[in-house]
Amino acid sequence: MLSTTSRTTLGRGKKRARTSRDDLYAVLDAGLICHLGVVVDGYPMVIPTGYGRIGDTLYLHGSTGAASLRAGGSGGEICVTVTHLDGIVLARSVFNHSVNYRSAMIYGRPRLVEDPEERLAGLRALTEQLAPGQWDAARPPTRKELAATTVLALSLEEASVKIRQGPPVDDEEDYALPVWAGVLPLRTSWGVPEPDPAMTADLAVPEHISSRIVAIQ
Amino acid sequence: MLSTTSRTTLGRGKKRARTSRDDLYAVLDAGLICHLGVVVDGYPMVIPTGYGRIGDTLYLHGSTGAASLRAGGSGGEICVTVTHLDGIVLARSVFNHSVNYRSAMIYGRPRLVEDPEERLAGLRALTEQLAPGQWDAARPPTRKELAATTVLALSLEEASVKIRQGPPVDDEEDYALPVWAGVLPLRTSWGVPEPDPAMTADLAVPEHISSRIVAIQ
């Protein structure tokens, strides 16, 4: 079950709220980037960034010099939102237009990860979220690279999930209008891999990359 | 030219910064949703939501009851971020993995729109951003629907744009490694329109909807 704190209990759009942790995991695991919210000098900052999940912990990383991570790492509250836009909901009235989506919001105070093993595990999860298989295929991080990287851990304890699916919901009297109504689905897919022109050897696209091209369709 | 306030002047990743307003317009106009950041009771909240642009003003809307818009509407600072993820950058080292993206961040204190004509224009821009052509095709908002909707206007004065494109940038000594490197592009496309099963008349998909299916490829 997901948390029921005031900020994760939906005041509006209750019908779209999910309460199972499996829904949370599914939304997070299907994502590539999140939008990280921090408060800097009293104003909000929303930064697109990568993430990875291990169990009930979300890992974020960044340069040790980044203001956003300094704010997050100094014990302040953060909010992480992952959104999948699945389609545009075309209703018979302008007012009832909507979107189909899956989104997760996580609130909490992140923990600065200092244990070397957990730092590596977190970075691995982050890399694998974007590029499964690459952690083992590419050169591992050096001590210097690790020192330049901040890793934060955010508990998934306080989270909410919202999902909207299906056709528009119109006002009763609008169903008779001669207006086409339905959903225009939005699809995300991988294109053909583009080899780095600077590649010196003639290497084939590895299976762990080429196999993704059909996987996401 | 875009603004050069401290929060829109990039401390990190300077090479990715763009300074032209045309880049800002291009990122915003190509988007479907934004992530809105507000501060509620001292903590950040990041909400996926729709938006529309008219000139140098961004319009946001929501139910008059939504906490996020109450926070934004009461004169507090907000941050609006629009992100397009264009591909995964697969480097020879884990550390140099990255993503190709286009993103815009806008900071400011939104203005509550009260003028009826500007409210309508803002809502039209919001609808047309998600569903071009639908404002004229669907039933217009009633007085009651308008009364239930909060419209906020955010100046595009203080904004930053970041764009990363192209192959990975690896450490000099890594180029000789036998690791495939390049970009796995991410594509967004429209699927086949799904008619609402509740549609009573046999209506064809209008041209302003069907024409999008190729447009985004």
Q: b or e along A203-215 (b: 16 or more beta carbons within 10 Å of the residue's beta carbon)?
A: eebeeebeebeee
**Integer Cα distance of A154 and A80 in angstroms:** 9
Report the CATH number that the domain containing residue B27 is assigned in CATH.
2.30.110.10
Minimal-distance CA residue of chain A relative to B203: A180
Q: What is the pLDDT of residue B8?
A: 79
> Among candidates A99, A126, A22, which has minimal Cα distance to B47?
A99
What residues of A are in contact with residue B206 (Cβ under 8 Å)? 180
Q: Is B166 in the A-facing interface, judged by CB distances under 8 Å?
A: no
Q: What is the pLDDT of residue A9?
A: 75
In a domain, A44, yes or no: yes
**Integer Cα distance of B44 and A78 in angstroms:** 6
Of A77, A94, A198, which has the smallest distance from its Cβ to B134's Cβ?
Answer: A94
What residues of B are in contact with residue A206 (Cβ under 8 Å)? 180
Instruction: Tell me the residue type at A136.
Output: D
Query: Could A200 and B176 be called an inter-chain contact, meaning their C-beta atoms sit closer than 8 Å?
Result: yes
Q: Is A191 in the B-facing interface, judged by CB distances under 8 Å?
A: yes
Q: What is the pLDDT of residue B72?
A: 58
**pLDDT tens-place string over residues B94-108:** 999 999 999 999 999
Minimal-distance CA residue of chain B relative to A187: B189
In a domain, B6, yes or no: no
**Alpha-carbon distance B83 to nearest alpha carbon in chain A (angstroms):** 7
**Alpha-carbon distance A153 to nearest alpha carbon in chain B (angstroms):** 17
Do residues B100 and B47 lie in contact, with contact meaning Cβ atoms separated by under 8 Å?
Answer: no
**Integer Cα distance of B151 and B60 in angstroms:** 6
**Alpha-carbon distance A95 to nearest alpha carbon in chain B (angstroms):** 6
Q: Examine the pLDDT at B10 and tell me if it is beyond 70.
A: no
Q: Is B215 in the A-facing interface, judged by CB distances under 8 Å?
A: no
- When pLDDT is averaged across residues A164-179 and rounded to a whole number, the result is 97
Length of chain B: 217
- Beta strand A194-195 with B182-190: parallel, antiparallel or unpaired? antiparallel
Cα radius of gyration (chain A): 20
Q: What is the pLDDT of residue A66?
A: 66
- Main-chain dihedrals φ then ψ at residue A133, nearest 5 degrees: 95, -15
What residues of A are in contact with residue B131 (Cβ under 8 Å)? 88, 90, 97, 184
Q: Is A30 in the B-facing interface, judged by CB distances under 8 Å?
A: no
Query: Could A44 and B77 be called an inter-chain contact, meaning their C-beta atoms sit closer than 8 Å?
Result: yes
What residues of B are in contact with residue A99 (Cβ under 8 Å)? 32-33, 50, 130
Q: Examine the pLDDT at B1 and tell me if it is beyond 80.
A: no
> Among candidates A45, A61, A212, which has minimal Cα distance to A145?
A61
* Burial of B207 per CB tally in 10 Å (0-12, 13-18, 19+): exposed
Q: What is the pLDDT of residue B217?
A: 44
pLDDT band at A78 (very low <50, low <70, confident <90, very high): very high
In a domain, B194, yes or no: no
**pLDDT tens-place string over residues B158-174:** 999 999 999 999 999 99
- When pLDDT is averaged across residues B117-136 and rounded to a whole number, the result is 97
Query: Could A179 and B87 be called an inter-chain contact, meaning their C-beta atoms sit closer than 8 Å?
Result: no
**pLDDT tens-place string over residues B181-200:** 999 999 999 999 999 999 98
Three-state DSSP class for B193?
Answer: coil
Token readout for A63 is 């340069």
Q: Examine the pLDDT at A217 and tell me if it is beyond 50.
A: no
- When pLDDT is averaged across residues B80-84 and rounded to a whole number, the result is 98
Identify the domain containing residue B38 by its residue range. Answer: 14-172
In a domain, A88, yes or no: yes
**Integer Cα distance of B178 and A199 in angstroms:** 9
- When pLDDT is averaged across residues B146-151 and rounded to a whole number, the result is 94
The ipTM (two decimal places) reads: 0.94
Share of chain A above pLDDT 90, in %: 79
In a domain, A135, yes or no: yes
CA A120 to chain CA centroid, Å, is 20
In a domain, B191, yes or no: no
Share of chain B above pLDDT 70, in %: 91
**Interacting residues of B160 by C-beta distance below 8 A, sequence separation 6+:** B2, B3, B7, B8, B9, B10, B17, B104, B105
Q: Where are the beta strands (DSSP E) in chain A?
A: 17-18, 34-40, 43-49, 52-54, 57-63, 78-90, 98-108, 111-112, 149-155, 158-164, 182-190, 194-195
**pLDDT tens-place string over residues A20-31:** 999 999 999 999
Instruction: Tell me the residue type at B135.
Output: W
Running DSSP on this structure, what letter comes out for residue B3? -
**Integer Cα distance of A97 and A89 in angstroms:** 6
Q: What is the pLDDT of residue A144?
A: 95
Running DSSP on this structure, what letter comes out for residue A139? B
Q: What is the pLDDT of residue A13?
A: 67
Q: What is the pLDDT of residue B19?
A: 84
Do residues A170 and A182 lie in contact, with contact meaning Cβ atoms separated by under 8 Å?
Answer: no
pLDDT band at A75 (very low <50, low <70, confident <90, very high): low
Token readout for A26 is 């599914």
More confident residue, B201 or A180: A180
Q: Is A161 in the B-facing interface, judged by CB distances under 8 Å?
A: no
Domain count within chain B = 1
Running DSSP on this structure, what letter comes out for residue A7? T
Minimal-distance CA residue of chain A relative to B89: A131
Minimal-distance CA residue of chain A relative to B178: A201
Q: What is the pLDDT of residue B68?
A: 64
In a domain, B187, yes or no: no
pLDDT band at A15 (very low <50, low <70, confident <90, very high): confident
Token readout for B166 is 């192209």
Share of chain B above pLDDT 90, in %: 79
Q: Examine the pLDDT at B210 and tell me if it is beyond 90.
A: yes
**Integer Cα distance of A110 and A75 in angstroms:** 7
Q: Is A163 in the B-facing interface, judged by CB distances under 8 Å?
A: no
Q: Examine the pLDDT at B110 and tell me if it is beyond 90.
A: yes
Q: Is A200 in the B-facing interface, judged by CB distances under 8 Å?
A: yes
Q: What is the pLDDT of residue A71?
A: 62
Token readout for A143 is 């001590």
Q: Examine the pLDDT at A215 and tell me if it is beyond 60.
A: no
**Integer Cα distance of A50 and A33 in angstroms:** 5
In a domain, A200, yes or no: no
**Interacting residues of B29 by C-beta distance below 8 A, sequence separation 6+:** B53
- When pLDDT is averaged across residues A177-193 and rounded to a whole number, the result is 96
Three-state DSSP class for B55?
Answer: coil
Three-state DSSP class for A188?
Answer: strand
**pLDDT tens-place string over residues B20-71:** 999 999 999 999 999 999 999 889 999 999 999 999 999 999 776 666 666 6
Do residues B166 and B87 lie in contact, with contact meaning Cβ atoms separated by under 8 Å?
Answer: no
A-B Cβ pairs (cutoff 8 Å, strict): 300
- When pLDDT is averaged across residues B134-152 and rounded to a whole number, the result is 96
**Integer Cα distance of A193 and A208 in angstroms:** 12
